[in-house]
Structure 1
Amino acid sequence: MECHFCKKKIDGRSDKIFCDVYCKSSYHYKKSKESIPNFYKKVDSHLKLNRRLLKNYNKAGKSTIRTAELVEMGFNPNFFTHYWKNKKGDVYLFVYEFGFLRITENGKEKYVLIKWQKFMENKVSTSSN
């Protein structure tokens, strides 16, 4: 018998397929990296990227950025966790605690970026509603 990862001879039980914990872990890590990303991983990575970008461009709690600039960095507005509607009827989409609203200002598409506030709690809606 030989190890599935390093191909060294294995001593011990007849059903043993790895020589040690390192080879077992390395084998499964390599296998997961080679496999096609599943739907969950794709969504999770988009959410993480969107959150990182919104956090990076919204240091003050509220800011505005050109839509094209965020999209160039990989931002995808179709991936969000929930939304909040203000009294004016504007619907902010949120990626965890960072929200965005698409607006047109002086003929240019922009996002207004905000951070989640305590007063918004009673008016939250999930994206599955």
Structure 2
Amino acid sequence: MERICLDCGHLVKGRSDKKFCNDACRNNHNNKVKSDDNAVLKKINTILKKNRSILAHFNPVGKVKISRKKLAAAGFNFDYHTYTFSSQNGSAYTFCYEYGYLILTSEEFLLVKREEDMWLS
């Protein structure tokens, strides 16, 4: 029974379960298959990095109040974040890596930066 390489279409010789004619074809095929997943991850990570950069830019001192309009005008995407944190008093902080925010009102936010020692505990 003739087998054909899944990547280039050439005849495959060797073991009966072999799918590719050589390592280059195997790598090329697997890279094509995974490229769609990588594109999605790259797009999301780009958004997260931009959000982090915006939060860092507006919060050089550790805590600052800012309007929703100002964040939105800078290109902040409120749909993407890395995690949320609930404080002991029930406040829900949304973080993009070590920078985050607390919604004070529908139009006002408190920007915060998580300290390094908090990451270790």
Q: Normalising TM by the smaller chain, what interval?
A: 0.5 to 0.7
Contact 1:47 1:79 in 2 (8 A): yes
Evaluate the alpha carbon distance shift between residue 85 and residue 121 of structure 1 in structure 2; reply closer, same or farther with a 3 A threshold.
farther
* Separation in 2, partners of 1:110, 1:42: 28
Evaluate the alpha carbon distance shift between residue 121 and residue 89 of structure 1 in structure 2; reply closer, same or farther with a 3 A threshold.
farther
In structure 2, what residue type is equivalent to 1:114?
V
Q: How far apart are 1:38 and its partner, in Å?
A: 2.7
- Give every structure 1 segment of 4 or more consecutive aligned residues whose post-TM-superposition deviation is greater than 6 Å: none
Classify the secondary structure of the residue corresponding to 1:77. Answer: coil
Structure 1, 50-59 or 39-48: larger mean CA deviation: 39-48
Q: How far apart are 1:78 and its partner, in Å?
A: 1.4
Q: TM-score, normalised by structure 2?
A: 0.62
How many residue pairs end up in the alignment?
85
| Aligned residues with identical type, % of pairs | 33
Structure 1: segments with no counterpart, 5+ residues: 1-36, 123-129
* Separation in 1, partners of 2:75, 2:57: 13
Classify the secondary structure of the residue corresponding to 2:110. Answer: strand
Q: CA RMSD in A?
A: 2.3
Contact 1:84 1:120 in 2 (8 A): no
1:20-31 aligned within 5 A: none
Q: TM-score, normalised by structure 1?
A: 0.59
Evaluate the alpha carbon distance shift between residue 109 and residue 121 of structure 1 in structure 2; reply closer, same or farther with a 3 A threshold.
farther
In structure 1, what residue type is equivalent to 2:88?
K
* Separation in 2, partners of 1:41, 1:85: 28
Classify the secondary structure of the residue corresponding to 1:68. Answer: helix
